[in-house]
A and B are shown apart, each in its own frame.
Chain A
Amino acid sequence: MSNVWMYVLTIVLLIISAVKDKKKTKQALMKAWKTFENILPELLGIIMLVGLMLAIVNPEVVSKIIGSESGWLGVILSAVIGAITLIPGFVAFPTAALLLQNGAGYMQIAAFVSTLMMVGVITAPVEMKYFGKKLTILRNTTAFIFSFIVAYIIGRVVG
């Protein structure tokens, strides 16, 4: 698991913090909880939406849409699917590899992977809470457009 080292680091720092100053450590933990509680409602909603969406949009559906002959239309569709879904990387990459084996194109897969990671339509409510509406929309739009550049270059280099 990639997050083991985060746990190790957190625990070590917590111990150092507690040895140095108990009161400050307590404050830090309170702050952690308050921040978490602040975005918890959105997170729970996001998780439910993701569950519903992934039940409908499964690998079979996706591989039909983004075959290597699907061209730019396929690239656009893959980018849209990547933008609106939220799949953890350790599920997304093997799925992407499977799609490639089943005839999806490199350009389409690159667009999908790129928007999947950089664009978050579902997480936009959380982002807006911190960055406001305008910047959230702007960031996601720019990242969406950027993903086409990524797709084009990867299509040229790898495909």
Chain B
Amino acid sequence: MKIIKKYRFFMFTILVLAAVILLNRQLGMKALDIVGFSFKEMMMVIPPIFILLGLLDIWVPKETMVRYMGESSGWLGVVLAILLGSAAAGPLYGAFPIAAVFMKKGVRFTNVLIFIGAWSTTKIPMFLFEMASLGTSFALTRLAIDIPGIILIAHILNFFASKEELDEIYKKAESL
């Protein structure tokens, strides 16, 4: 029963896809193709992310993370958050579990958000790809706006989050 409840959204999407295939075979098969492709991408990208997360959780002591990225880490924490986020490969959904481990280890909330921001938009492998496809000035301009942008967004979000909400989020990260 628990499994059915957990996977009900997935099962619903299977039904939708089946209906689309029945109604419009060409469109449905195209969707199925893309699903297969995305699934393969997930299987390729995800294992290292989660294993690194496991190793980080078990091996790196909280004190170390607090020292480098915690409340009083200053600009070092910001720079580390940007570098760690930018060095990653993989879609944004891979960043959230890692962010949870960061919070568990006492990383400052703005640095967690900067990490998420960097992961979402300043990834180095993607940057090289962007430069090749859309041109150097496009990619460089975007990078130059994005770095202050993600720091600013992190502080805006931090400003709007109440103390209780943050406590709740950090407590949840502890249990995940």
Q: List residues of chain A with CB under 8 Å of any chain B CB.
A: 1-3, 5-7, 9-10, 13-14, 17, 24-25, 27-33, 35-36, 38-39, 41-52, 54-56, 86, 88-90, 93-94, 96-97, 100, 106, 109-110, 113-114, 117-118, 120, 123, 125-127, 129-132, 134-135, 138-139, 142-143, 146, 149-150, 153-154, 157-158
Contact = CB atoms under 8 A, between A and B. Distances in A.
Contact of B113 (A1, A46, A120, A139): A139
A156 to B, nearest CB: 9
A138 B160 contact: yes
B169 interface: yes
Interface of A is mostly: helix
Interface of B: 6-7, 9-10, 12-14, 16-17, 20, 27-28, 30-35, 38-39, 41-42, 44-55, 57-59, 88-93, 96-97, 99-100, 113, 116-117, 120-121, 123, 125-126, 129-130, 132-135, 137-138, 141-142, 145-146, 149, 152-153, 156-157, 160-161, 165, 168-169, 172-173, 176
A6 B49 contact: yes
B130 A48 contact: no
A157 B143 CA distance: 13
B55 A13 contact: yes
B169 A132 contact: yes
Contacts of B12: 45
13 contacts: A3-B45, A6-B49, A17-B58, A27-B54, A28-B54, A44-B13, A48-B14, A49-B13, A56-B27, A88-B38, A93-B130, A123-B91, A130-B99
Contacts of B129: 2, 89-90, 93
B41 A29 contact: no
A52 B29 CA distance: 10
B109 to A, nearest CB: 10
Nearest to B89: A3
A61 to B, nearest CB: 12
B120 to A, nearest CB: 5
Contacts, number: 226
- Residue with the greatest number of chain A CB neighbours at <10 A, chosen from B33, B58, B153: B58
A113 B110 CA distance: 24
Contacts of A39: 93, 96-97
A100 B93 CA distance: 28
B93 A46 contact: yes
B173 to A, nearest CB: 7
B171 to A, nearest CB: 11
Given A41-B9, A47-B38, A29 B54 contact: yes
B59 A28 contact: yes
Contact of A45 (B13, B141, B153): B13
Contacts of A149: 145, 149
B176 A38 contact: yes
A6 B55 CA distance: 13
A62 to B, nearest CB: 15
A139 B157 contact: yes
Given A35-B97, A135-B169, A55 B50 contact: no
B93 A123 contact: yes
A47 B145 CA distance: 30
